[in-house]
Amino acid sequence: MAWRASSSSWALDPGLEEATRTSGAGPFRTLRTVTPPAVKPAVLSGALLALVYGTALFSVPLIIGTQARIDILTVQVVRMLAFTYPPRIGEALILSLLVAVVLALLWGVNARVVRRGHFATVGGRHSARPTTVLRPVPLVVARIVLLGFVLLAAVLPLLALVLVSFQGFWSGKLPARSHTW
């Protein structure tokens, strides 16, 4: 099945943007008043999901965070239970309860936003999706921002993975003499 932006369920209704343009709003006002309320539930749900995965993830913060002396709550809880004698069960329970309360509160906020339903849209007829033609200067700026994002999100992590793969074990440093095949 091929997904097209105009007919897929994940695309914003272009009729909303068209209505704001018809009523005299410019592109920046449309971006400020229409787009954020329409995507707010998806952004909040994604943030909540990322937070849940971030608190559940244990191995990466333990391996990388310990070397950099960065402690997170889940690592602290496991250290209190597994690496201390006698185990500090009370302190670990309080930290775990703190994490659970924060996640429950954020889940409640997310459920409230979704339940409120201010993001729901009414579909209707609209013309073809208009294309925005950028002038040369904004086009160059947009390309620089896009290339910078791709560099930060894809190229640099891949380069770091390649550099670390040449080491026999992770030491937190990248001296050339420790590289091996």
Rounded-to-integer distance, Cα 6 and Cα 157, Å:
33
Q: Which whole number is the average pLDDT over 49-63?
A: 78
Q: What is the pLDDT of residue 4?
A: 35
Provide the b/e sequence for 83-98 (b: ≥16 CB within 10 Å).
eeeeebeeebeebbee
Among 165, 18, 47, which residue's Cα sits nearest to residue 113? 47
Partners of 95 in the β-ladder: none
The share of the chain scoring above pLDDT 70, in percent, equals 75
Q: Domain boundaries in the chain?
A: 14-125, 135-166
- Show the DSSP H helices in the chain as ranges: 14-22, 27-33, 35-56, 59-60, 66-67, 73-82, 89-116, 136-150, 156-165
Average pLDDT over residues 161-174: 74
What pLDDT score was predicted for residue 128?
Answer: 60
First to last CA, the chain: 43
Query: What per-residue confidence (pLDDT) applies to 134?
Result: 67
Question: What would the pLDDT profile of 89-119 be if each residue is shown by its tens digit?
Answer: 888 888 889 888 988 888 888 888 777 765 5
